[in-house]
Amino acid sequence: MNIKLSPSILASDYGALRDSVRLVEEAGADYLHIDVMDGRFVPNITIGPPVVRALRGSSKLIFDCHLMIEEPDSMIDAFAKAGADIITVHAEAARHLQRTLSHIRSLGKKAGVALCPATDISALRYVLDDIDMALVMTVNPGFGGQSFIPAMRQKVADLKEMIADRPIDIQVDGGITLDNLGEITSAGANVIVAGSAVYKADDPHEAVRLFKAGGRHE
Ligand code: DX5
Ligand code: ZN
């Protein structure tokens, strides 16, 4: 299977962001996962469009922006302009989800929807034609370094079945390591977010290589 790796800069040194991005780009990452938190949807605040714009100037990676924010409609244009390539909103935060997704696509960007662990995949059933990626949160959003929630493996498998042959990527985010990567990808995930497992590894470059090779047990 063609696995795409999207390292999350949430786990990197924010004081040296440009170097952190360059590191994973040179190591062979496919995307850059940018966690945007507003202190309302999740109890944490991270970065906004100015930082995305600053990084855009020095990276060719696909910018995968995960908006953990309330009322995402108000920020979509700003992230699109700043250089996002994929814009993912939470189903729990977008009141008129289909409209939001159409808007993202109208800006020429890929549209994603994220589901918190307790949210049923049925939230996606009637917007399958409007999305390029479905993000299964494998931890509760808000922080890096949490443990993978085992029930999410079945959720990924159920989602894979629902998606059938549509061209929709399944992304997983939270607690993914080289040790559980195999079970997640065999359930159907093909875009892997990894924060701590890349940036806190002894050798992040090697960690990227191992993720791309399918993990430790394959
Ligand atoms: C959590 C974020 C994740 C986080 C993943 O709210 O959405 O992207 O950075 O970090 P790890 O891989 O450390 O769980
Ligand atoms: Zn994320």
**Which of the ligands is closest to the CA of residue 138?**
1
Taking the centre of ligand 1 as the mean of its atom positions, its distance from the CA of residue 46, in whole angstroms, is 12
| Predicted local distance difference test score (pLDDT) of residue 217 | 57
Cα 165 to Cα 19: distance, rounded to the nearest angstrom: 38
| Burial label, 74 (beta-carbon count in 10 A; 0-12, 13-18, 19+) | exposed
| Predicted local distance difference test score (pLDDT) of residue 76 | 98
**Tens of pLDDT, residues 140-177:** 999 999 999 999 999 999 999 999 999 999 999 999 99
Q: Is residue 101 within 8 Å of residue 90, measured between CB atoms?
A: no
| Predicted local distance difference test score (pLDDT) of residue 64 | 98
| Predicted local distance difference test score (pLDDT) of residue 70 | 98
Q: Specify the residue with its C-alpha closest to ligand 1, atom 4.
A: 144
* Two structure tokens written together for 40: 């309302």
* Two structure tokens written together for 9: 């800069």
φ, ψ at 28 (rounded to 5°): 110, 15
**Which of the ligands is closest to the CA of residue 116?**
1
Cα 89 to Cα 110: distance, rounded to the nearest angstrom: 11
| Predicted local distance difference test score (pLDDT) of residue 1 | 62
| Any ligand 1 atom below 6 A from CB of 145 | yes
List per-block mean pLDDT (blocks of 10 residues) for the chain, which spans 218 residues.
93 96 98 98 97 97 98 98 99 98 98 98 98 98 98 98 98 98 97 98 97 79
Residue 164: how many CB atoms within 10 A of its CB?
8
Q: How many contiguous H segments (helices) and E segments (strands) does the chain have? A: 8, 8
| Any ligand 1 atom below 6 A from CB of 64 | no
| Any ligand 1 atom below 6 A from CB of 38 | no
| Any ligand 1 atom below 6 A from CB of 144 | yes
| Predicted local distance difference test score (pLDDT) of residue 44 | 95
Residues 6+ apart with CB under 8 A from 99: 73
| Predicted local distance difference test score (pLDDT) of residue 2 | 86
| Predicted local distance difference test score (pLDDT) of residue 20 | 98
Among the atoms of ligand 1, which is closest to the Cα of residue 37? 6
Known active-site residue 173: yes
**pTM of whole model > 0.95?**
yes
For the chain, the farthest-separated pair of C-alpha atoms sits apart, in whole angstroms, at: 43
**Which of the ligands is closest to the CA of residue 195?**
1
Q: Which of 194, 180, 190 is nearest to 156 (CA)?
A: 190
Q: Is residue 208 within 8 Å of residue 199, measured between CB atoms?
A: no
Q: Is residue 63 within 8 Å of residue 84, measured between CB atoms?
A: yes
Cα 149 to Cα 138: distance, rounded to the nearest angstrom: 6
Taking the centre of ligand 1 as the mean of its atom positions, its distance from the CA of residue 197, in whole angstroms, is 10
Among the atoms of ligand 1, which is closest to the Cα of residue 142? 6
